[in-house]
A = this chain, B = another copy of it.
């Protein structure tokens, strides 16, 4: 009941070393954020319980209100934080050396894998879309233009065009939309899809196949 979550889901690869939280405002904040992320990802905004979040925290309910104002405030921060973390993960991708077609496939497949690893993030996005994006962080710091995903795509696509391997007619955002759709759905709709059509697509073999299809699909779309 009073378990204090400190390490967490797959996604929390590296988290600050944590000792006594006491008198460590920053640590307390992080601890709350982390527990709340899991809670909101699991149950949604209205489904999550402040009480329960607090109990899995190293501090008390009072501190949640102290730091985040109210439940919605906490949710907003969780969401913003989740986007921030995801961006950081995306920044890691390096494709500079590759020819444009290989780079594009690799980007698609990397995204596929990345989404699979980021269940909680995807769930938060699902939830936020149920709320019609009402709690999205300020678009200034979110602007997609300068996300590394978009910049990579722009670069790859430009190179591909130049090299004559890609056909014209696409924007980076469109390509991003297409890749995202496939990779997102794979995670977001696993529950209902597998309920209706069986689990085969979601075991290792199935996923490997889908991953290749996704790569093929994106590549074939733009190939000249």
Contact with B along A165-209 (1 / 0, CB 8 A): 000001001101110111011101111111111101100000001
B173–A197 contact, CB under 8 A? yes
Write out the residue numbers on chain B whose beta carbons fall within 8 Å of the beta carbon of A127. Answer: 130
> A47–B48 Cα gap in the complex (Å)?
11
In the complex, are the beta carbons of B210 and A221 less than 8 A apart? Answer: no
Most buried by B among A126, A132, A193: A193
Q: Is the CB of B210 within 8 A of A133?
A: no
| A143 CB-CB contact with B under 8 Å | yes
Asked if A123 CB lies within 8 Å of chain B CBs, one says yes
List, in ascending order, chain B residues with CB within 8 A of A139's CB: 195-196
Give CA–CA (A142, B196) in the complex, Å.
Answer: 6
Q: In the bound complex, do residue A142 and residue B195 qualify as a contact, i.e. CB atoms below 8 Å apart?
A: yes
Does A44 belong to the interface (CB within 8 Å)?
Answer: yes
Inter-chain contact A132/B174, CB cutoff 8 Å: no
A43 & B44 in contact (Cβ 8 Å cutoff) = no
Task: Check A213/B221 contact, CB under 8 A, given A139-B196, A181-B181, A185-B181.
Answer: yes
Contacts of A190 in B (CB 8 A): 129
List A133-152 residues whose CB lies under 8 Å from chain B: 133, 136, 139, 142-145, 147, 150
- Chain B residue contacts of A20, Cβ below 8 A: none
Residue A36 interfacial (CB < 8 Å): no
A2 interface residue (CB < 8 Å to B): no
| A44 nearest CB neighbor, chain B only | B130
Q: A210 contacts which of B43, B131, B177, B191 (Cβ < 8 Å)? A: B177
Q: Count chain B CB atoms within 10 A of each CB in A46, A132, A173, A189 and give the residue with the most.
A: A189
The 10 closest A-B pairs by CB, nearest first: A133-B191, A181-B185, A144-B197, A220-B220, A46-B47, A144-B196, A46-B46, A136-B195, A132-B191, A217-B221
Task: Name A's B-contacting residues (CB within 8 A).
Answer: 43-47, 123, 125-133, 136, 139, 142-145, 147, 150, 170, 173-174, 176-178, 180-182, 184-186, 188-198, 200-201, 209-210, 213, 216-218, 220-221, 223
